[in-house]
Homo-oligomer: A and B are copies of this chain.
Amino acid sequence: MRIPSHIGIIPDGNRRWATNQGYTKDKGYEHGLDPGIRAYRSCRDAGVKEVTFYGFTTDNTRRPASQKEAFIKACVEATRMLVEEGAHVLVVGNTSTPLFPKELMDYTKRHKGKEGEIRANILVNYGWYWDLTNIAGKEAVNKNNIHGAIQSSDVSRLDLIIRWGGRRRLSGFLPVQSIYADFFVLDEYWPDFTEEHVRRAIEWYNTQDITLGG
């Protein structure tokens, strides 16, 4: 079976899930933590080498304060859980604005995890334009070195992106790494994650051809 090397996870639907449960929207995020670690383990056990989680973006910071606090806290906790698991953790995002949590500063260079574990990237206060504007000022950027010129250059090309919550869009998720990725959308909200979702996505991926644009 053809296993994707790198899977992107867009864990959407936390707020809709919370509303359906009768909670306030900000309560959705804490219910996304357990799914996160389970998704990491599912990928690792399937033979995936790298997983990237879409934490929060600079676009998301227009949301109400209670939600912002909740998703920032969830990202900090998710990072802690992944480090504890032994993953090779990297936090990628704009550290120069106040919304970037200081606790995560240590992880903006890749943390060496345990043997047998895999790379886990978390996008925290990430912005697609922040990522791409890094190209400005560089000289002689071409097809072969453009990936190295962006802010998220330590995140490899994505093979498969799985989005929960039914929306069929990238919402600014790593535009350069997503170029050739296959895109699998689940209607289930992220807090309703099950291991079967990852299994289904990988099985679907196996039925797709690889062309890399050719």
State whether the Cβ of A180 lies closer than 8 Å to any Cβ in chain B: yes
- Closest CB in chain B relative to A114 CB, distance in Å: 33
Mark out the residues of chain A between 132 and 188 whose CB falls within 8 Å of any chain B CB in the assembled complex: 132-133, 135-143, 146, 149, 167-172, 175-176, 178-184
State whether B169 touches A143 (Cβ < 8 A).
no
In the complex, which residues of chain B have a beta carbon less than 8 angstroms from the beta carbon of A129?
142-143, 146
State whether A170 touches B176 (Cβ < 8 A).
no
Please measure, in the bound complex, the distance between the C-alpha atom of A46 and the C-alpha atom of B102, giving whole angstroms: 50
In the complex, which residues of chain B have a beta carbon less than 8 angstroms from the beta carbon of A213?
57, 59-60, 171-172
A214-B168 CB under 8 A given contacts A139-B137, A176-B132, A183-B183: no
State whether the Cβ of A53 lies closer than 8 Å to any Cβ in chain B: no
Q: Tell me the number of copies of this protein.
A: 2
In the complex, which residues of chain B have a beta carbon less than 8 angstroms from the beta carbon of A59?
212-214
State whether the Cβ of A97 lies closer than 8 Å to any Cβ in chain B: no
- Closest CB in chain B relative to A133 CB, distance in Å: 4
Contact among B132, B179, B214 with A60 in the assembled complex (CB-CB below 8 Å): B214
Mark out the residues of chain A between 198 and 214 whose CB falls within 8 Å of any chain B CB in the assembled complex: 208, 211-214
In the complex, which residues of chain B have a beta carbon less than 8 angstroms from the beta carbon of A181?
169-170
State whether A141 touches B146 (Cβ < 8 A).
no
Query: Mask for A119-131, Cβ within 8 A of B = 1, else 0?
Result: 0000000011110
Contact among B128, B180, B182 with A172 in the assembled complex (CB-CB below 8 Å): B180
Closest residue of chain B to A179 (Cβ to Cβ) is B172
State whether A132 touches B133 (Cβ < 8 A).
no
A128-B179 CB under 8 A given contacts A59-B212, A135-B133, A214-B59: yes
Closest residue of chain B to A63 (Cβ to Cβ) is B214
State whether B182 touches A169 (Cβ < 8 A).
yes
